[in-house]
Amino acid sequence: MSIYTTGELAKLCGVSVRTVQFYDTKNILKPSELSEGGRRLYSDADLEKLKLICVLKGLGLSLDTIKGILESDAPEKVLLTFLDEQEKQLAEEIKHKQKQKEAVALIRESVRSRNAILVNSINDIELIMNGKKKLRKTRAVMLITGIIIDLVEIAAILLWIIKGMWLPFVICLPFIVIAIALIVRMYYKNVMYICPECGNTFKPRGGEFFFSKHTFKTRKLTCTSCGHKGYCVETGSLK
């Protein structure tokens, strides 16, 4: 079994030494052992783990999501389920782009030949241009609303601290709580989860959804079909 220093490991995976050290501090990639001088030493298994982390980062996953996958009871199944979902989304995007290309070509030909533009082709283009994925829209709305709520809350707290005006905070607090509750309800309504064990797409119970451990794209849930409990991959609601 080979042993690698931080520099050797970083070179083999095409990352910087600082990146490897950062993954250590984030508890994503801990060294297998330390030398007598306190240097980090890594094994072949650590090398393979870092390669996997680099691949997942290349797919656009956040470190929290990667950590959730690696810490799950069956990381391979969670990863395969996530990759299957990513492949489906990419295939759907390719399909939409192809439809858009065909519709544009059809309208161009209609314009050139001075024929009437087909309504169906226009509808196809509008559907593709305006039909963003529900999940992406939901996340965008949550992000914007969350920023607004944070700004209002910070402003009210500053008024309390600097000016001694506590009334604005008291007035804003119920509205902030209601807004957060509505955001969580909207998010819950528009997402579902794929079980890595049986492949079933399900909506968890509200209480479990709210209190479960989660990352940006996975959540630790109990499958309503097979009863498996672990990290499930998030997807858009089917409704």
Mean pLDDT of the 198-209 span: 88
Mean pLDDT of the 165-187 span: 87
High-pLDDT (> 70) share of the chain, %: 87
Query: What total of structural domains would you count in the chain?
Result: 2
Say if residue 95 is in the same domain as residue 177.
Answer: yes
Say if residue 108 is in the same domain as residue 220.
Answer: yes
Among the ranges 18-27, 159-168, 188-197, which has the highest mean pLDDT value?
18-27
pLDDT of residue 110: 62
pLDDT of residue 118: 46
pLDDT of residue 101: 80
199: its two tokens: 């492949």
Say if residue 162 is in the same domain as residue 212.
Answer: yes
Pair 192, 237: CB distance under 8 Å: yes
Fill in the DSSP letter of residue 192.
E
Residue 149 burial by Cβ neighbours in a 10 Å radius (0-12, 13-18, 19+): middle
Closest CA to 208 of 225, 188, 226, 194: 188
Mean pLDDT of the 45-65 span: 88
Q: Rounded to whole angstroms, what are the CA distances from 122 to 97, 109, 116? A: 14, 13, 11
φ, ψ at 124 (rounded to 5°)? -60, -45
**Helix/strand/coil percentages in the chain, nearest 5:** 65, 10, 25
Pair 82, 215: CB distance under 8 Å: no
Full-model pTM: 0.55
Pair 43, 3: CB distance under 8 Å: yes
pLDDT of residue 90: 87
pLDDT of residue 197: 84
Residue 25 lies in a domain: yes
pLDDT digits (tens, 9 = 90+) for 127-142: 444 434 577 788 888 8
Say if residue 173 is in the same domain as residue 222.
Answer: yes
Closest CA to 203 of 218, 224, 219: 224
Task: State which residues form the domain around 28.
Answer: 4-58
Q: Name the β-bridge partners of 194.
A: 201, 233
pLDDT digits (tens, 9 = 90+) for 70-128: 888 887 888 888 888 888 888 988 988 887 787 777 677 666 655 444 445 555 455 44
Say if residue 107 is in the same domain as residue 52.
Answer: no
